[in-house]
Amino acid sequence: MRPDLPLQRFTGVDDPAKPDHYVTKTHLTACGLIPGDPVAVIVRPKQRKPIYLYDRHHAVPRQSSSAIPRSTTTHQPPIACAACGTMGTHDHRIILDSLRTDRAEPPAPVCAACFAACAAEERRIAVQALRAQAQAWLAACVIVALKTTDDDDPDILELGVIDHTGTVFLRQRVTPLWEPERPAVALHESTLAIDADAPDLTEVVPALAAIVHGKTVLVADQDDIDTLINSLDMRDHDPGLLLDHATWCDLLEPYSDWFGNWDDRRRRYRWEPLVPTHDVIGDCLALRARLQEMAAWSLYGGCGIGAVALPDSLTPLIPR
């Protein structure tokens, strides 16, 4: 709007002095017209924002996309699929990391058929790698579960440890540093008075360290490892006695990746519940059951069976 343009003033849309061809921008837009500069304004008492009026005679029709000459529209020329060479407008070019010849370059375009074949084979290879990892863990590992005070800075209430065969190595309640929250009290039946005779966490650490020494230790998720470290730090006890002589792993991420429930918005697999039972040994056995599930069964069959029959042109595109 030109700042030096004089505007007529009216008291309302039904002002007798207002010409009929002075209308609002909303009215012009509904009629498929683009307004020019405002020619008048409606000002009412106690009105916070003015309502501008436009001359219908100065409005121009809005041009639809179908009215644009074809020569001015963008047109993507056919390109060759990086795998099979088929010419077309290939849009699948952002997911397959294996198509990158150089990590600094964008992925190459592929046709829909090659994209589906490569994606299925990459998923099969990823699942079989997770299955092999689960089989290795199931052959020799120790599973640890914790119960905590369930507050913002949780302390440990109980520890449970089993081996890969399900044999119980340790089940021990410990005295927390402070009174647990009410939900934790109701769920775990643990208070300072109830656990007054239980040992402190530092007294349990030597037995736990002897069990996990040199082993692969599985917990439900990374939060359990962080809670264990934090609980020992609050007691001025070095967590290295437990962490430095064992390999600690969480099962939540591998199991979720194996389960394969993809989240398009977050661009990752959704976290899958590991069936907590609110009992440390029950939780350990639930984790072992999830591990057995990963190790024993695969949607894609045995390790030597492919998801699809890949042509020779696609074989170099799949990372091995």
* Residue 27 confidence class, pLDDT cut points 50, 70, 90: confident
The helix or strand, by DSSP H or E, that contains position 235, with its residue range, turns out to be none
Residue 6 vs residue 221, higher pLDDT:
221
Question: pLDDT digits over 248-270, tens only?
Answer: 999 999 998 888 888 878 878 88
Quote the tokens at residue 22.
């002075």
The answer to whether residue 168 scores a pLDDT higher than 90 is yes
Highest mean pLDDT among 3-7, 33-37, 156-160, 246-250: 246-250
Q: Mapping DSSP to helix (H, G, I), strand (E, B) and coil, where does residue 250 land?
A: strand
Quote the tokens at residue 20.
């009929």
* Residue 163 confidence class, pLDDT cut points 50, 70, 90: very high
- Pick from 65-74, 158-167, 255-264, 279-288: least confident: 65-74
* Residue 284 confidence class, pLDDT cut points 50, 70, 90: very high
Q: If you average pLDDT over residues 279-307, what whole number do you get?
A: 73
The answer to whether residue 299 scores a pLDDT higher than 60 is no
Average pLDDT, the chain: 77
The helix or strand, by DSSP H or E, that contains position 105, with its residue range, turns out to be none
pLDDT of residue 195: 58
Residue 81 vs residue 211, higher pLDDT:
211
Helix axes 252-259, 280-296, angle to 10 degrees: 40
pLDDT of residue 193: 54
pLDDT of residue 160: 92
Distance CA 177, CA 192 (A): 8
Distance CA 289, CA 247 (A): 20
Q: If you average pLDDT over residues 222-230, what whole number do you get?
A: 89
Question: pLDDT digits over 52-100, tens only?
Answer: 888 888 888 876 555 545 544 456 678 888 777 788 776 655 444 444 4
How far is Cα of residue 26 from the mean position of the Cα atoms in its chain? Answer: 42
The answer to whether residue 274 scores a pLDDT higher than 70 is yes
pLDDT over 70 for what percent of the chain?
Answer: 73
pTM of the model: 0.62
Per the document, the length of the chain is 320
Distance CA 204, CA 232 (A): 11
Where do runs of H (alpha helix) occur along 18-106? 25-30
pLDDT of residue 308: 41
The answer to whether residue 304 scores a pLDDT higher than 50 is no
* Residue 188 confidence class, pLDDT cut points 50, 70, 90: low
Residue 9 backbone phi and psi in degrees, to 5? -115, 135
The answer to whether residue 1 scores a pLDDT higher than 60 is no
The answer to whether residue 303 scores a pLDDT higher than 50 is no
DSSP letters for 181-200: PHHHHHHH---TTTTTTSPP
Question: pLDDT digits over 103-148, tens only?
Answer: 455 567 778 777 777 777 778 788 888 888 999 999 889 999 988 8
* Residue 218 confidence class, pLDDT cut points 50, 70, 90: very high
Quote the tokens at residue 134.
């689960």
